[in-house]
Amino acid sequence: MFSNTVKYAIKAVLYLAAYSDESNKIMIKDIANPINVPMAYIAKILQDLSRKNLVSSKRGPKGGFYLSDNNLKGNVHDLIEAVEGDDRISSCLLSLSECNASNPCSLHDLAYKEKQFLMQKLKETTLKTLAQDLKEGKTVLPL
């Protein structure tokens, strides 16, 4: 459903959301392992997200990545959109230019409600909330 890049981005950001803050930055080498993503790859992804201001970073000694309070207010949908331009969920399942009821593809009726619900939730769920669940052990990050 998501590309590896998106999955990796979500995992890394949630890891940061749960275990970092401005006074507790985390280095690439300490992120890559716990979320089980190649170091150089997650570096590239986080650098991209940093450029787009979805995560915060500081270089040099004592530097690293972290989520600011502001970053924590972000939602999953924005994150997904940031790493892969188009939106694989809201777009038409069969690649019509627009997904809407007035010109529905063959799968539209069967899927649009679920797609809408999912989109809605991805937009309203903040990173902070998900991080909370993680810290409480209610959820896990793969591998």
Applying CB under 6 A, which residues contact ligand FES?
92-94, 96, 99, 104-105, 107-108, 111-112
Cβ neighbours of 53 (radius 10 Å): 12
- Residue 34 interacting partner from ligand FES, DNA, its own copies, none (CB closer than 5 to 8 Å by kind): none
Minimal distance, residue 32 CB to its own copies, in Å: 16
Query: What's the start-to-end Cα distance of the chain, in Å?
Result: 18
- Residue 114 interacting partner from DNA, ligand FES, its own copies, none (CB closer than 5 to 8 Å by kind): its own copies
Report CA-CA distances (Å) from 10 to 40, 80, 103, 107: 16, 8, 33, 28
Minimal distance, residue 48 CB to DNA, in Å: 8
- Residue 112 interacting partner from ligand FES, its own copies, DNA, none (CB closer than 5 to 8 Å by kind): ligand FES
Cβ neighbours of 112 (radius 10 Å): 18
Phi, psi of 90, deg, nearest 5:
-80, -25
Contact status, residue 11 vs residue 85, Cβ threshold 8 Å: no
Which residues of the chain form contacts with DNA (CB under 7 A)? 3-5, 8, 25-29, 37-41, 43-44, 46-47, 50-51, 57-65
